[in-house]
Amino acid sequence: MVNVKRLFAIKAREQMELQEYFRKNLDGVGFAGLDIQKTPLGTRVTIKAARPGLVIGKKGANVKGLTEVLARDFKIENPQIDVDEVRNPELDGYIMAERLASALEKGQHYRRAGYGLLRRIMRAGAEGAEIIITGKITSQRARYQKMRQGAIKRCGDPVKHVSHGVAHAKLKSGILGIRINILPKGYDNPKDVLYLGSDKLSPEFMDRITPKEEPEVPVPLKKGAEPSAEVVEVEAPAEEASGRIKGKLPGVDDVLETDDANAEALEEELEEDGAAEAENQADEGGAGADEDKVEKDEE
């Protein structure tokens, strides 16, 4: 009888050996992991890489060589290699860990390389990222340096969305271990779920659920169109209405009396103007008669 635990341990060991082999031999291609599936025709091995052209090689030469190695060294029956391109390598933990290890081996300072890579990951759209460097970083005594930004899930269902990556940098002082965890954007966040029931809703949920009334926006007039005038009836206040009854405002009789007084004043002014004109005419007639008498006396 086959021991199930032993069988699973053997399969896991074979997969780990495959990943180590591809990680060492596919340097500079952005190796992101393997996916092994059993098919009726053989075993399909999918290689995830940021630069698939370097994995395939010229006219598929690299793929042919890897196929022979899998069949000869790892005893895989009829291996079929597929190459899958990683769309966003900044959100993959394996690729970022390899880049950080390469930067440290070239002599770059660990703080500058770590925080620069962290900013690059966050600019790519990650929800959170964490970089841990362990080993003899600055002295002969081993320690660890942790760099973190954003949110990282430790437990629960969102952990399956976190991308983990491990790499090693070989320096003169020793080997540094690098571990990177990246939480991409768009995972199932329980905080984004709203309870839409009707029993015992909190005021915060009520404010978020109830639609807000949008203010009315005036419609712009077309060119050449005149604004429509609306007739608005305004009722007089109660004080003014009561003032009319009490006599504070002029009534109809008061208006008629003022009109009669104005008419009498106008008639008196007209009579005075007529008398003045008659006197002027009489004076002009007398002056004309005196002139005629003077002319006759001279003759």
Model pLDDT for residues 16-38, shown as the tens digit of each residue: 888 888 888 887 788 888 888 88
Tokens of 43: 């075993």
Q: What is the rounded CA–CA span in Å between residue 149 and residue 204?
A: 28
Model pLDDT for residues 70-116, shown as the tens digit of each residue: 888 888 888 888 888 888 899 999 899 989 999 999 999 999 999 99
Q: Compute the chain's Rg from CA coordinates.
A: 51
Model pLDDT for residues 241-288, shown as the tens digit of each residue: 444 444 444 544 544 455 555 666 666 777 777 777 766 666 666 555
First to last CA, the chain: 178
Q: What single DSSP character describes residue 168?
A: E
Tokens of 78: 């009829």
pLDDT higher than 70, residue 293: no
pTM: 0.58
Q: What's the whole-number mean pLDDT along residues 43-62?
A: 87
Residue 145 · residue 133 · CB < 8 Å: yes
Sheet strands (E) in the chain: 31-39, 42-49, 79-85, 126-135, 143-150, 163-170, 175-184
Write down the H helix ranges in 183-298: 203-209, 238-246, 252-298
Q: For the sheet with 31-39, list strands across it.
A: 31-39, 42-49, 79-85
